[in-house]
Amino acid sequence: MKVFAWLFCTLSAFSIVRAAELPTGALPTPVALPKQVYGLDGEACLVRFDAIINAPIKRSLLFDVESGPGAQSSEALVWRPSEKKPGGPFRIGIYSGANFEKLAELSSEFVYCNPKAVRQSGKIRWLAIGDSLTAPGFYIGQTVERLAKILPQVSVIPVGSALPPKDSKYAAIHHEGRGGWHWQRYLEGFNVKTDKGVVSSPFVFGPRGRDDFDFARYLREKLGGETPEIITIFLGANDIFGASPTITPEKIGEIMERAKTMTAKIQAAAPDSIIGIIPPPSCSSQSGFAENYGNGVTEWQYRRALQLYNAALLQTFDNRQNEHIYIVPGYLGFDPANSFPSPPNALHPKEAGFTPVSLEIGAWIVHLLSTKAVTPKLS
């Protein structure tokens, strides 16, 4: 009788899990794996499987690294770049955890970024545009410090009209990061009433919104007429947060339209600048959402919305290097289990939590320099 009861419970549980894990064989969300992942010589480069696709039910999806460099752990593909392991293409298969049906096959490339290949010297200017993930200056400062050690002949100079808090270790790091901001406010914001007063985008100079977005004027008035060699845009969390419970493809499409418009306007004024689009990393646990937002947006709702956003971001901007546009996928190595402070915060990592992001940006900048996509200025 006990055996029968155990068997009945086991079969019942399996049927429930099977129904949840197999929504007619489709993946739960679109995948978000760019065509290139940058690895810095001597630093481990991770592609975490939960950053590629959101699978809320543990083991509902299985992953198989089918070819390429690196080694598959339980949670990630780990590549340790070196001259003896200089990267190359890799493929990852995604399978159903219920019946092992193959649901997708993804391909990408590890790009080996060797500082020894950088022969030039001089300075490059970096304009970082973003939200509260940029405002403290953590990943900017980490990247600058790392590059100063491995590329002492190149000075990376952050520029912008905003600064981190005065008590921050990175208080002197210039940028254009503002807590709570999104693509729309940077593209259209002029004399907008907020809980912090009336604000305007640093790039918008009149009441017509995007029609008064003038990046050339910004360069003249805020950066002394100097065009940064590198511009990164790290936005998205605030675009999707409020809409997370009921996010729709139409909403994602509206965000992408703003992103394309703003990026095109920046390019028109700075055609020689390299633009790096940085997808946002994952969030903290539900405890972090409870701490910050009570019964508002939940962890699973945000993760799903983030996956939809990042997949659309890659569809819009990936594989456009010949247009001076790159995806900089720092989110792939981001470890949400160990990146947030205690007590937990839903969306804001602690300083050390930004390390995977700064590692990827640093590797990408080395790649730009080694391929001469960016040339340092001598004065």
Query: pLDDT tens digits, residue range 90-136?
Result: 999 999 998 999 999 999 999 999 999 999 999 999 999 999 999 99
Nearest CA among 290, 285, 277 for reference residue 339: 285
Q: What is the CATH number of the domain that holds 101?
A: 2.60.40.60
**pTM of the shown model:** 0.92
Q: Does residue 64 share a domain with residue 41? A: yes
Residue 361, pLDDT score = 98
Q: Which residue, among 281, 278, 279, has the nearest Cα to 334 in the 3D structure?
A: 281
Taking 80 as the threshold, does the pLDDT of residue 10 lie above it? no
Instruction: Assess whether 90 and 36 both reside in one domain.
Output: yes
What is the spatial order of strands in the sheet that 102-113 belongs to? 37-40, 102-113, 87-96, 61-67
Q: Which residues pair with 62 in a beta bridge?
A: 95
- Is 39 in contact with 113 (CB distance < 8 Å)? yes
Strands 76-79 and 122-130 turn out to be: unpaired
pLDDT digits (tens, 9 = 90+) for 169-220: 999 999 999 999 999 999 999 999 988 899 999 999 999 999 999 999 999 9
pLDDT at residue 18 above 60? no
The CATH number covering residue 195 comes to: 3.40.50.1110
pLDDT at residue 58 in the model: 81
Token readout for 249 is 């493809």
**Are residues 197 and 243 part of one domain?**
yes
| Same structural domain, 247 and 216 | yes
Q: What are the CA-CA distances from residue 317 to residues 139, 292, 303 (Å)? A: 22, 32, 21
pLDDT at 296 over 90: no
151 and 107 together in one domain: no
Average pLDDT over residues 297-324: 96
Same domain for 138 and 166: yes
pLDDT band at 7 (very low <50, low <70, confident <90, very high): very low
Q: Mean pLDDT, to the nearest integer, of 241-248? A: 94
User: Are 213 and 333 contained in the same domain?
Assistant: yes
d(CA 79, CA 157): 29
Which of 102, 100, 101 shows the shortest CA–CA distance to 91?
Answer: 102
> Is there a single domain that holds both residue 107 and residue 122?
no
Cα 356–Cα 163–Cα 176 angle in degrees, nearest 5? 70
Residue 106, helix vs strand vs coil = strand
Instruction: Give 133's contacts (C-beta < 8 A, 6+ positions apart).
Output: 139, 177, 234, 237, 280, 347, 348, 349, 354
Q: Are residues 142 and 34 in the same domain?
A: no
Let me know if 2 is exposed, middle or buried by CB neighbors in 10 A (0-12, 13-18, 19+): exposed
Q: Are residues 91 and 212 in the same domain?
A: no
Q: How many CB atoms lie within 10 A of CB 88?
A: 14
φ/ψ bin of 197: left (φ > 0), alpha (ψ from -120 to 50), beta (otherwise):
left
Q: Are 60 and 144 in the same domain? A: no
Which residues span the domain enclosing 313? 117-370
| DSSP E strands, 12-142 | 37-40, 45-48, 61-67, 71-72, 76-79, 87-96, 102-113, 122-130
- What is the average pLDDT value for the chain, to the nearest integer? 91
Taking alpha carbons only, the member of 65, 86, 85 closest to residue 75 is 65
Q: Does residue 129 lie in a domain region? A: yes
In this structure, are 154 and 82 located in the same domain? no
pLDDT band per the 50, 70, 90 thresholds, residue 343: confident
Last residue of a domain, one of 70, 93, 113: 113
Say how many domains are in the chain.
2
